[in-house]
Amino acid sequence: MKPATLDHRSDVLQNSVVVFSNNYLPMSRVNIRRAVTLLVSGRAEPLELETNLFWQLRSPSVTIEVPHHIRLRVSTAERLWKVPPVSRRELLRRDGHKCQYCGAGKALTIDHVIPRSRGGGHTWDNVVIACERCNGKKGDKYLNETGLALKTKPKAPMHPAVAFAESFWQNRPMPE
Ligand SMILES: [Zn+2]
């Protein structure tokens, strides 16, 4: 069972497999080739959810069934992850490079929801990306004095694995 013998033209290879950690936390997606490597080397095993779904890889001599979900057999020492300090780069990423008041994607600045002059902190739950126009409109006022409204409530970025796990379960179709 060598992945190298697989049909390279197969569209199946375009698909991906969800990798669960040893303690059943969905962690990431890998391509089929990587999944096969993990399975063949014994570092992962098929994970059975409510349905048993497989991608079928065919070559002239062999057919391999690759489960849609695999689980690592070894526990991955969860790397230490700390909430990053507030920075323009992280903030742009969190807010999707969009003004959190009007959705504009240009002339972006950092706005303190509770103005610093009124005691607001430079913390994840008090900073948002805002375009110059909205930031100017807001100035040193509280939100309720401006007529502006936030699209989302600002919060600290999540651990990447936790964020993946959340979206995995949220986007999962209900079992039939
Ligand atoms: Zn704006």
Which of 48, 78, 108 finishes a domain? 78
Answer yes or no: is 167 within a domain: no
Reported pTM: 0.55
Query: Do 10 and 63 fall into the same domain?
Result: yes
Q: What percent of the chain has pLDDT over 70?
A: 86
Average pLDDT of the chain? 85
> How many A from CA of 136 to the centre of ligand 1?
9
Mean pLDDT of 116-145: 95
Among 8, 21, 14, 26, which Cα is nearest to 169's?
26
Pairing type for strands 44-46 and 69-72 reads antiparallel
> How many A from CA of 159 to the centre of ligand 1?
28
The predicted structure's pLDDT at residue 169: 77
> How many A from CA of 53 to the centre of ligand 1?
45
The partner residues of 124 in beta bridges, in order of sequence, read none
Structural domain for 35, as ranges: 3-78
Q: Does position 1 have pLDDT exceeding 50, yes or no?
A: no
Output 70 or 78, whichever has higher pLDDT: 70
The predicted structure's pLDDT at residue 138: 94
